[in-house]
Amino acid sequence: MKFLDEAKVYIRSGDGGAGAVSFRREKFIEFGGPDGGDGGRGGDVWVEAVNGLNTLIDFRYQQHFKAAIGTHGMGRNRTGANGASVTLKVPVGTQIFEEDNETLIVDLVTEGQRFKLAAGGNGGFGNAHFKSSTNQAPNWANPGLAGEEKTIWLRLKLIADAGLVGLPNAGKSTFLATCTRARPKIANYPFTTLHPNLGVATIDGREFIIADIPGLIEGAHEGVGLGDRFLGHVERTRVLLHLVSAQEEDVAKAYKTVRHELEAYGEGITDKPEIVALSQIDVIDADELKKKAKALAKACGKTPLQLSAVAGIGMTETLRALRAVITDPEGTGE
Ligand SMILES: Nc1nc2c(ncn2[C@@H]2O[C@H](COP(=O)(O)OP(=O)(O)OP(=O)(O)O)[C@@H](O)[C@H]2O)c(=O)[nH]1
Ligand SMILES: [Mg+2]
């Protein structure tokens, strides 16, 4: 499977129109003089961040974006029309890279942010522009300037406040569906979630964005399962919510497996504050819960929260814990 959140796109801005060489010719008017108009400007290629998109999948279907060329100038001082610009609409959080896929051109982090990726060529001057006292009949004009063409990479790193991580079936999507209006696909098989989902949670009158990404399994950093490429989406979050299902036989191992993958991915993800929660606690009895909570506490070095999205247990506490980190002005985390 290809990297869903990356796309290679070819762009080309419009060439400028050429200026015209023309002379005024009319009955009874002698020496009418030059009247060749200027060429129009070529269209630009822009990129704009818009809300409501969370994948770059559209760019798999359309990979070429060309702005229109400026039209040529014409006689009787007519200027050519400017070429129409084109705008690539991308999700907020998209980064644009040069063809080497390393040099960042722009990072679009706010809705409505626009950036000109390629400027259209200027139109050329018509011969009317070159008339002077010493040359009253110039018979040349400028050609328009060529547009720019290049290949760029788009890479999406969603912008969310909190990121959900965990093994497949940990209940990440269920958590998102319960506390936000997002409706991700939920099912009891691994890798139900194939692309990230965003939702807005509200707690105590404050809103924040939660990102749900596909589950991680051992070896994800080597590409096992869906791999770890979706971790790019939690790179920019303030806090991680690490869900460990109470249905796991060995919760400590489940926790460590995911932590290990986060470490292998790098990019400072393991330095982020992490809130650990034992999820799906409605499926086990009190004794087992105690045991598993203890085992998980030992593995993560703090007391995990306990929640069940289905039974509605511990959800408010979890959202409060996330919010506390997100609104923490010091950025110290805990
Ligand atoms: N009993 C119970 N079942 C739950 C709970 N949360 C999730 N489930 C079930 O567990 C299964 C997996 O839930 P998902 O939310 O799809 O899990 P996920 O972590 O998003 O899984 P992937 O997308 O595959 O990584 C589904 O059948 C859910 O109905 C819970 O709190 N209690
Ligand atoms: Mg899911």
pLDDT tens string 182-235: 888 898 898 888 888 889 999 988 889 999 988 999 888 888 888 787 888 888
Fold match between domain 1-156 and domain 162-327: no
Ligand 1 neighbourhood includes 257 CB (under 6 angstroms): no
pLDDT for 28 beyond 80 = yes
pLDDT tens digits, one per residue of 128-180: 999 999 999 999 999 999 999 999 999 988 888 999 999 999 999 999 999 99
Residue 47, marked binder: no
CB atoms within 10 A of CB 206: 12
Over residues 298-313, the mean pLDDT reads: 93
pTM, full prediction: 0.77
Question: Confidence class of residue 3 from pLDDT cuts 50, 70 and 90?
Answer: very low
Does 309 show up as a binding residue in the annotation? yes
**Does ligand 1 lie within 6 Å of residue 113's CB atom?**
no
In angstroms, what CA-CA distances link 141 with 43, 72, 123? 21, 11, 11
Asked whether residue 253 carries a pLDDT value surpassing 70, the answer given is: yes
**Beta carbon of 252 within 6 Å of any ligand 1 atom:** no
Question: Does residue 214 line the site of ligand 1, with CB under 6 A?
Answer: yes
CA angle 92-207-327, nearest 5°?
95
Could you please report the per-residue DSSP string of 264-283? HH-TTGGGS-EEEEEE-GGG
Does pLDDT of 39 surpass 90? Answer: yes
What pLDDT score does 230 carry? 85
Name the more confident of 45 and 5: 45
**Second-level CATH architecture of 162-327:** 3-Layer(aba) Sandwich (3.40)
Closest atom of ligand 1 to 164 CA is: 19
Nearest CA to ligand 1 atom 4: 280
CATH superfamily membership of 1-156: GTP1/OBG domain (2.70.210.12)
Cβ(167)–Cβ(191) below 8 Å = no
Task: State mean pLDDT over 105-120.
Answer: 95
Domain ranges of the chain: 1-156, 162-327
pLDDT category at 6 given cuts 50, 70, 90 is confident
What pLDDT, on the 0 to 100 scale, is given for residue 232?
84
| Neighbouring residues of the ion ligand 2, judged by CB less than 5 Å | 172-173, 192-193
